[in-house]
Structure 1
Amino acid sequence: MAMYRTLARAASIDDLRTLAQRRLPRMVFDYIDGAAGEESTARRNRSGFQRFQLRPEILIDLSKRSLATSVLGQPLAMPLVIGPTGMNGAYWPQGDLCLARAAKAANIPFVMSTAATVKLATLVEAAGPLRWFQLYMLRDRGLAQALLERVHAAGFEVLQLTVDTAVTGRRNRDVRNGFTLPFRWSARKLIDTARRPSWALQMLRSGSPTLQLFAEVVGPIQPGSTITEVVQRQISDAFTWRDLDWLRACWPGKLVLKGVSQAAHVHQALAAGVDGVVVSNHGGRQLDGAGSTIEQLPRIAEAADGRMAVLIDSGFRHGADIAKAIALGADAVQLGRPTLYGLAAAGEAGVRHALHILAAELEVAMALSGASNVGQLRGRVDC
């Protein structure tokens, strides 16, 4: 009960981050919170929002307001998607299921990651109808095709291909902390974990998280590997625009490229029959020194010109951030760390609380910008 009273007092995503930091051992919190290199891209993702200002409007009838929208032909309760994240079972037992159930309750999509810590069938049982899947293109094309066939047969309608991980970014916090699979313990880690008894007891009961979907597809994970090493051994570093025709032919549903950062990428994606893009730099976890996604969004939205869905992630912490993205041309915002902070703080209840915070902030930002619905936010921003 004390946890839920504390959760109720969390007024912002930053408050949830603080709760997550208190509850998790350092190596686990840093895996959520950290980024590549010196983390300059992650910082710019946040500072980039300051370049844009919402435009206040007054004396407008706002008595009927709605956050409802539609993305890739699917009606959503609000312009949010719980994006693909790996190792969710390290933050809360069955973390992927907590995220999926919260998305179902909110009537928004949940994107299952290739690096999920639950099996495909288990996730399908918990998730709602808005199920999307994220694919890291595997080196073995046969394994990739078999996985896609299973995913489609399980009712997933949207596939997100992550395209910015041909080489995995070097995340210094994970290297310093020795964050490996399975967890590799040292005296320092044991002392740190002993100070987080709630997390430690949960892990004792549920067991150390493993990349269960990866193991289903490619076989057992080599012990003692960092998360980056596990993923890098399996991801293709030779998949190109020419190979995209193969994927388009294999996947009968909607196809989205996650990791787009230039207008030229949009033109190439349209030519390949892609249905949408996610403007993303992986939350700053890949190329350190790159620009922020919110700064890149206007050019990408202009290139798309309504011919494909445009989503965006990286750096979002407030409903006003979401309003700015919609005003600049995004159809929806894909969430990573905000819902993970909620998950780490209080499981499914924490994820629901994170979504409630963002929805409440977005509705206020939208209304005070003179918009009674999401579509009316377009263009209501200055730079």
Structure 2
Amino acid sequence: MTRSADPQSIADYREAARRRLPRMIFDFYDGGADSENTLAYNRAALDARRLLGSAPVDVGRRSQKTTLFGRTFEMPLIIGPTGLAAAAWPKGDAALARAAGRAGIPFVMSTAGTCTQEEVAAAGDGAKWMQLYLFRNREFSARIVDKADELGFEAIEVTVDNAVAGKRLRDARNGFTLPFRWTPANLAGLARHPGWSLQMARAGAPRLEVMAAGLGLERTDTIAELMQSQLDPSVCWDDIARLRDRWRKPLIVKGVLDPAHVARALAIGVDGLVISNHGGRQLDGAVAPIDTLPDFVAEARGRLTLLIDSGFRSGCDIARALALGADAVQIGRATLYALAAGGEAAVFHALGLLKAELDVVQALTGAAAIADFHPGMIRSPAPHSALARRDPGSLLQPSASLALQA
């Protein structure tokens, strides 16, 4: 039962996470690359697309059932891969996986996860997918793939938009390292957040368990620099083709923005794409995935499963993507905020909020089933360059502005 004191939106969960986490941890999750222009634009591009209400339509019976890669899920939502989840909550990856399983949706484990693959595989009985980086050490990447197969992971989602790591200014300014560097400012942050500090003291400092097991990680200045030392800028479609040969279950490529890549993905035998700008954490000034989604739909013509992420915070956002042709939406920060606020129970509650919000949109747009969403429900984007210049955090706060009127 929902209590009045419980968060009532993802924006509420973001605020709860901001209060509970030390600044360096919150900023790691919340921040984007460079000026954070892309981070803000993701929200502006979504908010500019307006939904067309449709009444009267018989929506007395509504369903969110969705089929992805031959398996039926309770709603068109996926908890996407997010690194360092244990900095929000002990064994955070397993908590996210259990919450996703309870909600009847897939969970994608990050290679930068803070649980082992075995721990996530054993966390609940929901569908587990494995995110993959193609490291300089390709044998290590291959071992991750083989372990995922052995443990019953149902899909591989290979991330490709990281030839170099984006410049995360918040991390640099906060001195955010792995292992944590306890500067006077960061120690002061611990004192201001005793609940989190005590919980971390009991659980121990988070480790990138999958990467540490195979790469022998050493201390680096920032998380981005750690990743930069391991990622391979030579990754190309030939590498995806070799991965296709190794992995016979569904193969998804995450981090594409150019619809021209659809033809290559089809030629290789890729099963799905995640249209993504990495949540605004890589290329500052990038287009928003929602901008390019219709072009992907036109190129794919139903031959690929099209997923999308970056900036999604509500059922209304999910509906916008479905109307424009996405098969499902991946979320990352939204469930990290909830995880930080209250662990598995809060993540499950946040997923329920999104489900309820989507149900309202279904009822008011005449979409009794997910297949009923169509492009005619979306009106052409209004100019949103001014919105893109706003502080990204402010786009999540209650306001009478265009940003939250949908």
TM-score by length of 1: 0.96
Q: What SS does structure 1 have at the residue aligned with 2:260?
A: helix
For the 8 Å contact 2:62–2:369, the answer to whether it is kept is yes
Q: Is 2:382 the counterpart of 1:378?
A: no
1:190 equivalenced with 2:179 (yes/no): no
SS state of the match for residue 180, structure 1? coil
CA distance in 2, matches of 1:382, 1:289: 24
Displacement of 1:322 in angstroms is 0.4
SS of the residue 1:310 aligns to: strand
Quick check: 1:34–1:171 contact (8 Å CA) kept in 2? yes
Aligned counterparts of 2:134 and 2:63: Cα–Cα separation in 1? 38
Match of 2:24 in 1: 27
Q: How does 1:11-22 map to 2 (within 5 A)?
A: 11-22=8-19
- Pairwise CA distance, 1:5: 8.5
Counterpart-to-counterpart distance in 1, 2:330 and 2:236: 25
Find the counterpart in structure 1 of residue 82 from structure 2: 85
Alpha-carbon distance, 1:8 to partner: 4.6
SS of the equivalent of 1:126 reads coil
Change over 3 Å in CA distance of 1:146–1:7 after alignment to 2: farther
Within the alignment, does 1:292 sit opposite 2:253 as a pair? no
Amino acid at match of 1:238: S
Aligned to 2:243: 247
> How far has the Cα of 1:66 moved from its partner?
0.6
Find out whether 1:158 has 2:155 as its counterpart. Answer: yes
Task: Go from structure 1 to structure 2 and tell me whether the alpha carbon gap of 1:197 and 1:5 turns closer, same or farther (over 3 Å shift).
Answer: farther
| Rounded Cα–Cα distance in structure 2 between residues aligned with 1:158 and 1:29 | 30
Q: Equivalent of 1:353, from 349, 355, 358?
A: 349
Check conservation: 2:252, 2:273, Cα contact below 8 A. Answer: yes
**Which residue of 121, 125, 135 corresponds with 1:124?**
121
Distance in structure 2 (CA, Å) of the matches to 1:263 and 1:183: 39
Query: Which amino acid in the other structure matches residue 261 of structure 2?
Result: H
Shift of the alpha carbon at 1:6? Answer: 7.7
Equivalent position to 1:209, from 196, 202, 206? 206
Contact 1:48 1:295 in 2 (8 A): yes
Query: 22, 34, 39: which one pairs with 2:36?
Result: 39
How many residues end up aligned between the 2 structures? 379
Q: What's the counterpart of residue 7 of structure 2?
A: 10
> Is residue 69–residue 79 contact of structure 1 (8 Å, CA) maintained in 2?
yes
CA distance in 2, matches of 1:239, 1:362: 37
Structure 1 residue 117, shift from structure 2 partner: 0.3
Question: Percentage identity across aligned positions?
Answer: 49
| CA positional deviation for 1:74 | 1.4
Q: Does the CA-based 8 Å contact 1:20-1:342 persist in structure 2?
A: yes
Q: Separation in 1 of the partners of 2:335 and 2:5?
A: 15
1:315 matched to which residue of 2?
311
Which segments of structure 1 move beyond 2 Å, counting only runs of 4 or more? 4-9
Cα deviation digits, residues 228-272 of structure 1 (max 9, x gap) = 122111111111112222111011111111001011011111111
Cα distance per residue 1:192-226 (max 9 Å; x no partner): 1111111000000001101011112222x212442
- Compute the TM-score of the two structures, normalised by the length of structure 2: 0.91
Q: Given that residues 103 and 128 in structure 1 are in contact (C-alpha distance below 8 angstroms), is that contact kept between their aligned partners in structure 2?
A: no
Instruction: Confirm or deny that 1:142 pairs with 2:134.
Output: no
Q: Deviations over 1:42-86 (max 9, x none)?
A: 100000013321111112111111111111211110000000000
Contact 2:62 2:362 in 1 (8 A): no
What are the superposed Cα offsets for residues 93-145 of structure 1, whole Å, 9 maximum, x if unpaired? Answer: 11111100000100100000000001111111114241100001011222221
Secondary structure of 1:259's aligned partner? strand
Paired with 2:278 and 2:55, the residues of 1 have a C-alpha distance of 37
Checking the alignment, whether the CA contact within 8 Å between 2:20 and 2:193 is kept in structure 1 is yes
For 1:164 and 1:358, locate their aligned partners in 2 and report how far apart those are by CA, in whole Å.
27
Cα distance per residue 1:331-361 (max 9 Å; x no partner): 0000111101100111111111210111111
- Contact 2:10–2:334 (Cα < 8 Å) also in 1: yes
Residue 69 of structure 1 corresponds to which residue in structure 2? 66
| One-letter amino acid matched to 1:110 | F
Q: How does 1:323-342 map to 2 (within 5 A)?
A: 323-342=319-338
Residue number in structure 2 paired with 1:181: 178
Matches of 1:105 and 1:330 in 2, distance apart? Answer: 23
The separation in 2 between residues aligned to 1:224 and 1:197, in whole angstroms, is 26
Residue equivalent to 1:343 = 339
Please give the root-mean-square deviation of Cα atoms over the aligned residues, in Å.
Answer: 1.4
Gaps of 5+ in 1: none
* Deviation for aligned residue 1:30: 0.1
Q: Deviations over 1:12-61 (max 9, x none)?
A: 11011000000000000000100000000010000001332111111211
Q: 1:236 — aligned with what?
A: 232
Unaligned runs of 5+ in 2: 381-406
Distance 1:51 1:295 in 2: 11
Contact residue 7 and residue 350 of structure 1 kept, 8 A: no
Distance in 2, matches of 1:35 and 1:235, equals: 19
User: Within 5 Å, which residues of 2 pair with 1:218-233?
Assistant: 218-219=215-216, 221-233=217-229
Decide which moves more: 279-288 or 46-55.
46-55
Q: How far did 1:303 drift? A: 1.0
